[in-house]
Amino acid sequence: MHALSRTAALVCLAAAGCGGHAAKSAGAGTSGGTAEKMPALARQGRFVFDETPKYAASYTGNTLSCGDCHIGSGTAAYAAPMIDMAGLFPMYNKRAGHVISLKNRIQECFTRSEAGTPPPLDSPQMLALVAYIDWLSRDGAKGQAYAGRGLEEIPLLKGDSVAGKKVYAGQCASCHGTDGAGVPPILPALWGDGSYNNGAGMNDPDKMAAFVRENMPQNHPGMLTVQQAYDVAAYVHSKPRQKFNEIYKHY
């Protein structure tokens, strides 16, 4: 299939749903511009990024989207932003044990965070996602990371899941539900079949604590103490979730 045909196929992935998708601002931290100024393929990539189960249904195994962890359509600082990410690849991946490309890293996310299967390197979804990340990286210097890359650095503490249950009930359950199922695609599932599997980065309580401390609750981010962030991460970590498929361990 030619590249133009792939683009056309992606536009039709969700039939009429694509046409009604509202464009959002690219967000602070990018070098300006709005969604309307993006190349067409990059726009499609953001659709996939923001509503992955809708636009990449063949490769997802839960209800999560890329944008549930990389919030603000991948533009929020210290929420694992995609800004200037393209220029950092190829890079050595410690978990995989070898050098990977940006496409390999996207495949990794699909097998772990989306609990699904890796999109082929030449699939419409893959090409669109790469185009979007390339667009977010358009002003970056090769090999130079964005200032807000990754997650906030916080002290290393030990979480208490019993205390975390109380934090969750008071600060998280109103959005994510007492059952952790969320309200997809608006509010992500935190455990169960709708959430990431046990091979995902967010399954590491230390990483989740850093994410929570900087970004949650959404209506008042930063209100939790570092200890509360670790406690609620420990609570979420104690809950059941899908198991990672070991056939994808090279990702």
pTM: 0.85
pLDDT of residue 28: 38
Q: What is the mean pLDDT of residues 70-76?
A: 97
- Across all residues in the chain, what is the average pLDDT? 88
161-237 CATH pick, 3.30.110.60, 1.10.760.10, 1.10.260.40, 1.20.1290.10:
1.10.760.10
Q: What digits encode the pLDDT tens for the residues 17-42?
A: 333 333 333 343 344 344 458 999 99
Query: What tokens were used for 92?
Result: 């050595």
**Closest by alpha carbon to 231, among 191, 172, 144, 146?**
172
Query: What string of DSSP letters covers 106-117?
Result: HHHHHHHTS-S-
Give the separation between CA 51 and CA 102, rounded to whole angstroms.
20
Confidence of residue 172 (pLDDT cuts 50, 70, 90): very high
Q: How distant, in Å, are the alpha carbons of 26, 79, 128 from that of 32? A: 8, 19, 20
Confidence of residue 145 (pLDDT cuts 50, 70, 90): confident
Q: What is the mean pLDDT of residues 227-234?
A: 98
Q: What digits encode the pLDDT tens for the residues 177-190?
A: 999 999 999 999 99
Q: Is the pLDDT of residue 247 over 70?
A: yes
Q: Is the pLDDT of residue 207 over 50?
A: yes
Decide if 3-136 and 161-237 have a common fold.
Answer: yes
Q: What is the mean pLDDT of residues 147-155?
A: 95
Q: Is the pLDDT of residue 242 over 90?
A: yes
pLDDT of residue 19: 33
What is the percent of the chain where pLDDT is above 90?
80
pLDDT of residue 22: 32
pLDDT of residue 12: 42
SS3 186: coil
Question: What letter does residue 242 receive in the DSSP assignment?
Answer: P
Confidence of residue 142 (pLDDT cuts 50, 70, 90): confident
The residue extents of the domains of the chain are 3-136, 161-237
Q: Is the pLDDT of residue 9 over 80?
A: no
Q: Is the pLDDT of residue 139 over 50?
A: yes
Confidence of residue 143 (pLDDT cuts 50, 70, 90): confident
- Is 3-136 a CATH 1.10.760.10 domain? yes
Query: What tokens were used for 211?
Result: 């994410």
